[in-house]
Structure 1
Amino acid sequence: MAIDLLAPPLALSTRLRVRGTEHVPREGGVLIASNHLSNADAIVVTVFGLASGRVPRFFAKAGLWKAPVVRSVMRSGRHIQVHRGRSSALDAYHATVRSVRDGECVVVFPEGTFTDREDGWPMKAKTGVARIALTTGTPVVPLACWGTREYLPPDARLPRVSPRRRIDLVAGLPVELSDLVADKPSATQLREATERIMTSVTSLLSEVRGEDPPPDSVKA
């Protein structure tokens, strides 16, 4: 129901371009790692997931499970609750591990929040997605998202529908992490994996934007 309600207005109010869906495995657990610019990202990445033949699951604040209407979307979508506190973050990690081992497609924004860079390039990422990938052997598909910040700025309540903004979503080949897979990856392995993931995302974003990223945006 949520997709039926959100996708048509998005299609009518934007010029959405989706590429690289062939890089997403059609079955089995997979992690999609995307840069993060706007509250619209979850909607457009959902469209990307569906175009790839997958129904994506997201991390979401636990409070949404208590909100009228929204809670039914959270439950039916089998999204992953995130509570506040360190132990709750660990619970979310274990829930994600279960999801990918059950063959789900889980979307992760490694930066943890919208980039704080005015130029829109990715900022320093957290190691959560790397930990999940290395401990489960789950493939990580990098995804670049561009145009959503102009469509729905972080401080805006409503999207800017005129003129129609172009939104690009492009995915690449799964990031090569097989040499780092371990039951208990070290801090060095986690940082290396995170750097590879974010380098792939930034490279795709560079392609979409048609410009080279600043040196400090490539490193994890």
Structure 2
Amino acid sequence: MTKTAPTTGSDAREPRPFVFRMLAAIVVPVFGLLAKVRIRKGDSLPRNGAYILAPNHYTEIDPLVVAVAVWRLGRPPRFMAKESLFTVPVVGWALRATGMVPVARSSSSVSARKTIVASAALVEHGRGVIVYPEGTLTRDPDMWPMRGKTGAVRLALEAGIPLIPMAQWGAQELMARYGKKISLWPPRKLVTVAVGEPVDLSDLAGRHTQPAALAEATDRLMAAITALLEDLRDEKAPAERWNPAAHGQKETGRLEP
């Protein structure tokens, strides 16, 4: 049984705090000059209650695409953020004011405890959080989703809340992978976003501490994200997801709880 935070009605939306509204009043119109964000299947994002949203990740600018899309769908876009950032003056205040979720990057026992706390907070406040299951920019040469990590599914299984796949495509026209400069011309490049149905994890409920269950849940999530991206790109992904370790590449876990 999926747990959700209390709501005031089936059509109620999560309140969007003033800090978010102030930022959105600036960011959304400015970003609209750079890109046209077209959303497909947006109804899959819950109008209220807790959820984990798991997008693909292939450029440094695509978090902004995801944030704008989530805002337009009526929810405040909250991300996982490194715990250390919460101690930085001004930055820490902004992260706390917008309800971003801190993630520990230490021992597995500390990480597990932080996951439990973060999951409980999401349910208690009826909030959603955006977690990149790949943990970093995909290493796949053609920018398909690579092998996922377990952070997103651990949060979802621990709290019993919906795990929702998302795919977006077109952000590479704004900023190349590993690039640092935004392409300003031509303006209003098309970026398409698709939100999928929640991944069915009902048979894995209560098994959030079991590596085999986490691996299976992660595989289902990455398959769902890849299927959405295949539709956006109108082409088939490779039969096997890219594994950086198998190709001698380093993996980083910037957003991995």
Query: TM-score normalised to the size of structure 2?
Result: 0.78
Aligned AA for 2:150?
T
State how many pairs are aligned. 219
What is the Cα deviation at residue 155 of structure 1?
A: 3.3
Following TM superposition, the consecutive aligned residue runs of length 4 or more in structure 1 with deviations greater than 6 angstroms are: none
Provide the residue aligned with 1:114 in structure 2: 137
Q: Is the contact between residue 62 and residue 81 of structure 1 (CA under 8 Å) also seen in structure 2?
A: yes
**Is 1:94 matched with 2:116?**
yes
Provide the residue aligned with 1:29 in structure 2: 50
* 1:84-107 alpha-carbon deviations (Å, 9 max, x no partner): 322553354234212321211111
Identify which range, 48-57 or 197-206, moves more after superposition. 48-57
CA distance in 2, matches of 1:173, 1:151: 28
What is the Cα deviation at residue 163 of structure 1?
A: 1.7
Aligned AA for 1:179?
D
Secondary structure of residue in 2 paired with 1:175: coil
Identify which range, 1-10 or 198-207, moves more after superposition. 1-10
**Is 1:13 matched with 2:28?**
no
Q: Is the contact between residue 202 and residue 217 of structure 1 (CA under 8 Å) also seen in structure 2?
A: no
Residue pairs, 1:197-216, within 5 angstroms = 197-216=221-240
Secondary structure of residue in 1 paired with 2:240: helix
Provide the residue aligned with 1:189 in structure 2: 213
Q: Determine which structure has more spread, i.e. the larger CA radius of gyration.
A: 2
What is the Cα deviation at residue 184 of structure 1?
A: 4.4
Identity, % of aligned pairs?
Answer: 34
Provide the residue aligned with 1:70 in structure 2: 91
Identify which range, 25-34 or 69-78, moves more after superposition. 69-78
* 1:20-51 alpha-carbon deviations (Å, 9 max, x no partner): 22111111111111111122222111122122
* 1:56-110 alpha-carbon deviations (Å, 9 max, x no partner): 2111134433555433321211112234322553354234212321211111100
Provide the residue aligned with 2:68 in structure 1: 47
Q: Structure 2 stretches of 5 or more lacking a match?
A: 1-21, 244-257
Aligned AA for 2:193?
L
Q: Structure 1 stretches of 5 or more lacking a match?
A: none
Shift in CA distance, 185/92, structure 1 to aligned 2, threshold 3 Å: closer
Provide the residue aligned with 1:175 in structure 2: 199
Q: Is the contact between residue 135 and residue 148 of structure 2 (CA under 8 Å) also seen in structure 1?
A: yes
Aligned AA for 2:228?
L
Q: Is the contact between residue 59 and residue 178 of structure 2 (CA under 8 Å) also seen in structure 1?
A: no
Identify which range, 6-15 or 80-89, moves more after superposition. 80-89
Query: TM-score normalised to the size of structure 1?
Result: 0.90
CA distance in 2, matches of 1:89, 1:159: 35
